Structure 1
């Protein structure tokens, strides 16, 4: 057990104006299982890089342990898995096989080219390699991407048996299972919570509700003060005019009261100025009240409901790339206002079903699909490396309403300074938001989303949940986050 300390840590990237971390002081214990959460772009991965000593910063970071980072950067994916791992890590074969056994991985995978492993197998192999390192402090960045539900359970159970680490994940259930402390990077501070993500979420909501209530009371008080100050100021100005009388009222008698009226007007004016000062003082004293409230703005969806009640009907579908079918006979339908989730283990054929529905499947098919002619479909892909160029050029190429496209990107949390970057220069989280915002802006009768939550933070998940519950579009979705599927009331079609 060791203590990790951040002392007056200050860091920001050149050319990005605002600091990511400003005079941060924090004490952590290396035995904690620490979940690291926060909006995309707040600095979660940057903090892990700082702990590894990869970036120049101000202040002090005291970390008495050497760190090891997931995912390892495999240099040559065409090598056998064992050889690819030995290029980037030092371990004994028996150590690696021991860890792979804990993850229910066959040691035979080590003697296959790394590139032939599925995304889930690659994730598990890299985790196994990570924990062959002894007396190292693990920094684990998004281990649930590309894992199916069973794989996430296996990895969660695996991490439960390990000692301390820091883990970043967008899967709330996963975080609940693998963390006992939570470090939240909020708008203007880093806050440490004792407990898992659900504990953090409950405490954060309570704190935000209190601050919002206080802010509401403050706004009412400010409004009352403004009205009173304006009334007093108007009265004092009218009294000031009375000192001289109206032009048409010569000898009205007002002149005789000039001293009294003027003094009274001055007193009222002084009181109105005092009220303005009091009001401004209250505003300034409460300026920072809401600075750490995480707002989740409503997204918009260019959904075009069709008059067809049924959009997709699949009957007795079988797909294969050879003699053996990917799954047993599959039948399901998607009706107006219905979200259907296609679930199953990695490699069970979910993406193949999507390609078949999009008429891009290159294997052998048997069965039938019924749907209206010229059905407008919007598709969120797992792989979107071909999204390139500026956002404006991309919107023109995809025939998107540029204003709507940018508006959803802003609501998804993309910083305005990123808008000038080319898409290929953006982070994976930012590139995922581009792919998602494209789909949100496209006019569509049916949405097909393939693992939309990968690389998105938990706050973006709430936005998507709220959107789908509110709009109720016709949708086929592939997603391994069981909580998300439950929250959007998705019907489940499981591949076997």
Structure 2
């Protein structure tokens, strides 16, 4: 069933067309990804779809009963409530129904006429069935589940929303939207501010979501895992591709190949016609034929030049000199700020040519470790040794090395004054800054534009050891692909932090996982790292005795082994927790069936003639509801337990 249609949507800003004749439809249960380069109009289109903005022409068709939930890009939740009170407002109607059910249960236990009792039973049956269908017996558990998935725990529930960071407010806005359970979820960059574990949870949640989803995201791994249809906005137009993001890339490449062949063929035909006209228009004997060809030329419907031939970000990284084989050695390092330790006992080594990804949960000290390596932060303990001829190039995700009041041109030229202005402009042109764009102040640039300036400066360094902190942030999908290719061909060494799993999988030749008490190295890409982590979960079934044997067999790295054993014990507890959850869910299912049976009995006509039987069944129903609530509360507690 079609839930929503966009028909011939057009929109312009300052006489410049952004969208022209866009058509899109969303069907029940469909998962749609909307892609396109930065500034192409994706967010504008979402605002038009959700009624936040009006189109210049065209219309949005939507059923009266269809509910649309919209999460704008970086839109934080604004409220004076504490977290729990704000989340529970989503279920105000259910809570009112619950109060009404309790009141009806009390009334049914009081003496009354048969007719009154019959009316109460009918009213109770209808209300109870509606309450159950809407999830009335589990809405608090749903709140806890979603908050937990977004990394808000029991200790956070009483925090005022106004005291949270911008990223936390954005995650909380997503929590509230998910709980409202609209028919269509419209999400603009929902993966911002999410670490890998939270991203994985969100993917699973959305894959099980009963409604339709329309999402804009630069996370290609996320799109591959979720969507089944891609709409691409390009040159103000929109085209539909069936499949996930990887399928779209293949289909798009085939389209471009066909368009390029058609374009080149037409260009040859046009060139022949123009040449014939130029040679024959002035001759009296051939002027009519030339005029005829000119009319043919005027009637030709011109094929547009394929976008692949348009100007895009274009750059590469090189080195001035080659480093030694040993690039970096970190031994027993502790990182943090003052007395606040983020991670300690960090030891690892980097060899020339490696591309090493640094992973770990948010707040564990990944960015702090990079800043400590480059000397921006002092080490709290341990040593950092650079190899011979090592020259570091650093990319800062916060762009703190840019000067807000400086023009784009001088941001590069001031650092490389020996370059000619034309050469600086050429470099900036490769990063899509041309004409008056180079005279813009850094403070006026978007996040993506600042990222491109930082990458331009990094490229000019010709460093042989690149340290990159979230280099794909703010870049559109196509710029990410250019960056990947440039780094893939780079002859030096790379140490990087990223939450972009697609980027991680393509770039990493080794993964270092950072923890509070050291790090663990995995030789391979991101997929290999995930496989090894799954194997470790299986090893959690080993007995404590086996673990102790492992511990005594290898004492060369006591800190790593201690971490290893702690991980295994944690995984064992997680398995126990999951079994307990399954057991409780089985009991809940049985109780819910018994409640349904009691409610059905209360609705039977013969019960109307036996008030005492009705009271007895009502008492049983009340007890079963209390049992269900107790089981749900226990289920919630087990869900929240930290393994």
Task: Give the TM-score band, short-chain normalised.
Answer: 0.7 to 0.9
Change (3 A) 1:394 1:159: same
1:185 aligned to 229, 233, 236, which one?
233
* Matches of 1:101 and 1:196, distance apart in 2: 28
Residue in structure 1 matched with residue 24 of structure 2 by the alignment: 26
Residue in structure 2 matched with residue 344 of structure 1 by the alignment: 360
Change (3 A) 1:489 1:69: closer
Alpha-carbon offset, residue 120 of structure 1: 7.7
Residue in structure 2 matched with residue 260 of structure 1 by the alignment: none
CA contact (8 A) 1:40 1:413 kept: no
* Matches of 2:348 and 2:166, distance apart in 1: 27
2:16 alignment partner, SS class: coil
CA contact (8 A) 1:338 1:490 kept: yes
* Matches of 2:260 and 2:360, distance apart in 1: 42
Residue in structure 2 matched with residue 392 of structure 1 by the alignment: 409
Equivalence map 1:222-241=2 (5 Å)? 222-225=270-273, 233=280
Count residues in correspondence: 456
Residue in structure 2 matched with residue 142 of structure 1 by the alignment: 189
Deviations 1:225-248 (A, max 9, x none): 556666x54xx98xxxxxxxxxxx
Task: Give ranges in structure 1 of 5+ residues lacking alignment.
Answer: 238-264
Residue in structure 1 matched with residue 285 of structure 2 by the alignment: 267
Segment of structure 1 superposing worse, 116-125 or 54-63: 116-125
Alpha-carbon offset, residue 311 of structure 1: 6.7
CA contact (8 A) 1:33 1:180 kept: yes
Deviations 1:314-340 (A, max 9, x none): 2324224358661543212141x4433
* Matches of 1:29 and 1:115, distance apart in 2: 37
Change (3 A) 1:114 1:379: farther
Task: Give ranges in structure 2 of 5+ residues lacking alignment.
Answer: 93-138, 516-643
CA contact (8 A) 1:120 1:148 kept: no
Deviations 1:103-133 (A, max 9, x none): 5652323345769979986664442222122
2:39 alignment partner, SS class: coil
Residue in structure 2 matched with residue 245 of structure 1 by the alignment: none
Residue in structure 1 matched with residue 61 of structure 2 by the alignment: 62
Residue in structure 1 matched with residue 252 of structure 2 by the alignment: 204
Residue in structure 2 matched with residue 5 of structure 1 by the alignment: 5
Alpha-carbon offset, residue 467 of structure 1: 1.7
Change (3 A) 1:475 1:361: same
* Matches of 2:91 and 2:469, distance apart in 1: 36
CA contact (8 A) 1:334 1:476 kept: no
Change (3 A) 1:75 1:383: farther
CA contact (8 A) 1:312 1:370 kept: yes
Change (3 A) 1:98 1:127: same
* Matches of 1:394 and 1:114, distance apart in 2: 38
CA contact (8 A) 1:103 1:158 kept: no
1:12 alignment partner, SS class: strand
Change (3 A) 1:115 1:31: same
1:329 aligned to 338, 343, 346, which one?
346
1:485 aligned to 504, 507, 514, which one?
504
Deviations 1:278-321 (A, max 9, x none): 4x348x42343x35557574622463331433473223242243
Change (3 A) 1:415 1:178: farther
2:212 aligned to 164, 167, 170, which one?
164
Change (3 A) 1:19 1:118: same
Deviations 1:384-423 (A, max 9, x none): 2665233234334544766566555554556867656543
Equivalence map 1:55-454=2 (5 Å)? 55-59=53-57, 60-64=59-63, 65-70=67-72, 71-75=74-78, 82=83, 86=86, 94=140, 96-103=143-150, 105-111=152-158, 124-135=171-182, 137-162=184-209, 163-225=211-273, 233=280, 266-272=284-290, 274-275=292-293, 278=296, 280-281=297-298, 284-288=300-304, 290=305, 292-293=307-308, 295=310, 297=312, 299-301=314-316, 303-310=318-325, 312-321=327-336, 322=339, 326=343, 328-335=345-352, 337-362=353-378, 364-372=380-388, 376-384=391-399, 387-389=403-405, 390-399=407-416, 407=426, 410-412=429-431, 421-454=440-473
CA contact (8 A) 1:73 1:88 kept: no
Equivalence map 1:35-54=2 (5 Å)? 35-54=33-52
CA contact (8 A) 1:30 1:164 kept: yes
CA contact (8 A) 2:68 2:186 kept: no
Segment of structure 1 superposing worse, 49-58 or 355-364: 49-58
Alpha-carbon offset, residue 379 of structure 1: 2.1
* Matches of 1:326 and 1:115, distance apart in 2: 30
Segment of structure 1 superposing worse, 405-414 or 298-307: 405-414
1:452 alignment partner, SS class: coil
Alpha-carbon offset, residue 457 of structure 1: 1.5
2:179 alignment partner, SS class: coil
* Matches of 2:492 and 2:161, distance apart in 1: 39
Matched, 1:475 2:527: no
Deviations 1:352-374 (A, max 9, x none): 2211111012451313322347x
Aligned Cα root-mean-square deviation (Å): 3.8
Change (3 A) 1:486 1:98: closer
Alpha-carbon offset, residue 210 of structure 1: 0.6
CA contact (8 A) 1:69 1:130 kept: yes
CA contact (8 A) 1:5 1:63 kept: yes
* Matches of 1:115 and 1:343, distance apart in 2: 30
Segment of structure 1 superposing worse, 64-73 or 89-98: 89-98
